[in-house]
Amino acid sequence: MALSAQQIPRWFNSAKLRSLINAVQLTKCFARPGRTLLHGFSAQPQISSDNCFLQWGFKTYKTSSLWNSSQSTSSSSQENNSTQSSLLPSMNEQSQKTQKIPSFDSELFLEELDELPPLSPMQPISEEEAIQIIADPPLPPASFTLRDYVDHSETLQKLVLLGVDLSKIEKHTEAANLLLRLDFEKDIKQMLLFLKDVGIEDNQLGAFLTKNHAIFSEDLENLKIRVAYLLSKNFSKADVAQMVRKAPFLLNFSVERLDNRLGFFQKELELSVKKVKKRREFVYFYVCKFTFMLTANKRKLTETFDFVHNVMSIPHHIIVKFPQVFNTRLFKIKERHLFLTYLGRAQYDPAKPNYISLDKLVSIPDEIFCEEIAKASVQDFDKFLKTL
Amino acid sequence: MGSAGLSRLHGLFAVYKPPGLKWKHLRDTVELQLLKGLNARKPPAPKQRVRFLLGPMEGSEEKELTLTATSVPSLVNHPLVCGPAFTHLKVGMGHRLDVRASGVLVLGVGHGCRLLTDMYNAHLTKDYTVRGLLGKATDDFCEDGRLVEKTTYDHVTREKLDRILAMIQGSHQKALVMYSNLDLKTQEAYEMAVRGLIRPMNKSPMLITGIRCLHFAPPEFLLEVQCMHETQKELRKLVHEIGLELKTTAVCSQVRRTRDGFFTLDSALLRTQWDLHNIQDAIRAAAPQVASELEKSLGPQLDTKELPSREWSWESQGPSSTLVPERGAGH
């Protein structure tokens, strides 16, 4: 289906072309359909993210098209990658799929620009030329969402297939701009292989990258050094994998910062847990299983601790055995404790009969808690809650 | 598919606010849970887009080119690209409860937020249970405030307490009549007053329509209060003043709202029930009663003005003689 000549002026307007050079480029684009056209209109995104838009500037549009036309068909793709690495490679790949058409532009060179008359939209053109016009709607030069670019960017498509949540990344403009500029084959693939090396599974890569999108701006060498440092601290590969999975930003810290944090936690946790012998196991255990405690809000921790120790009268050594009480919401502990007190079943001393352990208090769901621990129905529990 | 769920999400419902939760956090939690439920629906089928590809025409000797239309899948509507379908819901709050208080709290969703204004203008009474503790006085009238004074309370008996409560009710009754701007000399007004159905339909300070002692076991006592235009702090201050009247001191240990207009404890949703289905059911269950009660409360004024919102301007014009009968569940 050949495009009518009426579509061309619309195209002109939407692209805001203004000068002779742009018109000439269009001619070239008509003559070399497919690849050149897409290149010409997919000007690379600007590096600067001065406002909250993903910038696809038309600044270097002219240079890119001129470069294209002066190269041969086969070598232009490599040239583009090397000279303007921020050009979307997807255009290359898509256009390479289309059949290589004999170029008509051998007679059009840079020197002839000035002599060439401007193309009039009313000029009749042959069927072959008409058929080779591709007038896809141009990509928006700036946008607040990656939706507009996902169909035209192989990088973004591959990331979506991996499971990366683009709607979360597009809220951070620097990361989004970075993703648009990166080449999947060159940059992202290396990063993914490195992450797989560290031990993150394929199906976890998406979640990891969504959380830590800033990792693409990190130097691969630095990341390798940090992983080597962690391994040197006698963490096994599986340990490091789990640590990185649970705390995705761990790899973004510099080695000094990692060192400081590990030392701090070793000191802190040593004071409260005296029985654990091996330091390595203990740091791994706490960092991985209870990462929430290290990142938790201090006020909430102290409130929970105050309630558990003072109101429920549970001594320190029992609290230490069940650190997961600090992970549950305080209201849950309060409600259940008050219900048990109301029923007269609040017995937390292991020596006495009818002892209720703290982990049973907090971690089991409501129905089982009511039936087995409190020996009451869920309706009774609800009625009690409405009297609080 | 999401619109089906959203269409049932307009109206009023009541939740039970537990103590220690700020009302704003409650409202945000309810909104988040509703959005979670709405976004859990199946995403739409992936969109296709048409691309015209250049290729050789079939069965032609000279390599003629033609455009063929192909439908390729597009990732524009993929959930990972465009994010969740619903990001915001209009959830409105009725009469507020402060952090330490608990009880029935009316929320409105979507178009129900309009009904919240109507409920406010209906000036219905609310029921509270207030628990007091004799023997100490604090600066914010609460049990955990800064201690100001400690007193003995052995001389306090049930009869003394009842006498004081009756005195309070009497004085507030007078204030009720005064603030409702009623001419008691008319026959209808007198009959209404006899039946105890008068209440002010505009702004007024806290007015207690009924107060009685449910349980008295010194130092603790439990009161049931029916009031309107109150704040929970004023209720705590009331407990403090009762203590002063009893020639001792008292602090308030619990303020719990058991009824707000026509929403009672039975229909209030607990924290575990704050999800899409339960809220939709609650809205549907409460809808007929809401409609009838609001019509009754605002009905008589509707022929004098077209919109309920005009009530404000009507009241500001002059004394409003309101003979609106109180038909809340409390009476």
Instruction: Give the residue extent of every domain in chain A.
Output: 144-217, 219-295, 297-387
Contact residues, chain B, for A366 at CB < 8 Å: 272
Most confident among A35-39, A224-228, B168-172 (mean pLDDT): B168-172
Backbone φ/ψ region at A275: left (φ over 0), alpha (ψ -120 to 50), beta: alpha
Q: Which region among A171-185, A243-257, B304-318 has the lowest average model confidence (pLDDT)?
A: B304-318
pTM as predicted: 0.69
pLDDT of residue B182: 78
- Helix A73-83 / helix A89-97 crossing angle, nearest 10 deg: 170
CA B136 to chain A, closest CA, distance in angstroms equals 21
Whether residues B80 and A101 touch (CB distance < 8 A) is answered with no
Residue A39 has pLDDT above 60, yes or no: no
Contact residues, chain B, for A381 at CB < 8 Å: none
pLDDT of residue A295: 59
Contact residues, chain B, for A146 at CB < 8 Å: 81
A contact test, residue of B80, B258, B271 with most A CBs within 10 A? B80
Between CA B248 and CA B240 the distance in angstroms is 9
Nearest to A206 by CA among A263, A167, A251: A167
pLDDT of residue A291: 57
Q: What is the ipTM of this complex?
A: 0.80
What would the mean pLDDT of B302-326 be, rounded to a whole number?
Answer: 40
- Enter the tokens of residue A365: 């769901």
pLDDT of residue A271: 52
Between CA A246 and CA A212 the distance in angstroms is 11
Contact assessment for residue B68 and residue B55, using Cβ atoms and an 8 Å cutoff: yes
Percent of chain B with pLDDT over 90: 55
Whether residues A131 and B65 touch (CB distance < 8 A) is answered with yes
For the segment B118-172, what is each residue's pLDDT rounded down to a tens digit?
A: 999 888 899 999 999 999 999 999 998 899 999 999 999 999 999 999 999 999 9
Contact residues, chain A, for B65 at CB < 8 Å: 99, 101, 128, 131-132
Q: Which of A151, A366, A387 sits opposite B272 (nearest CB)?
A: A366
pLDDT of residue B7: 78
Kindly list the catalytic residues of B.
98
Q: Which residues contact A116 (CB under 8 A, 6 or more apart)?
A: A24, A27, A108
Least CA distance to B265: which residue of chain A?
A386
- Hey, CA dihedral for A308, A310, A314, A317, is it positive or negative? positive
Return the number of CB contacts < 8 Å for A and B.
77
Between CA A199 and CA B76 the distance in angstroms is 32
Angle (nearest 5°) at CA A186 between A180 and A188: 60
CA B64 to chain A, closest CA, distance in angstroms equals 8
For the segment A60-112, what is each residue's pLDDT rounded down to a tens digit?
A: 333 333 333 333 333 333 433 333 333 333 343 343 333 333 344 444 455 55
CA A29 to chain B, closest CA, distance in angstroms equals 15
CA A266 to chain B, closest CA, distance in angstroms equals 35
Contact residues, chain A, for B74 at CB < 8 Å: 151
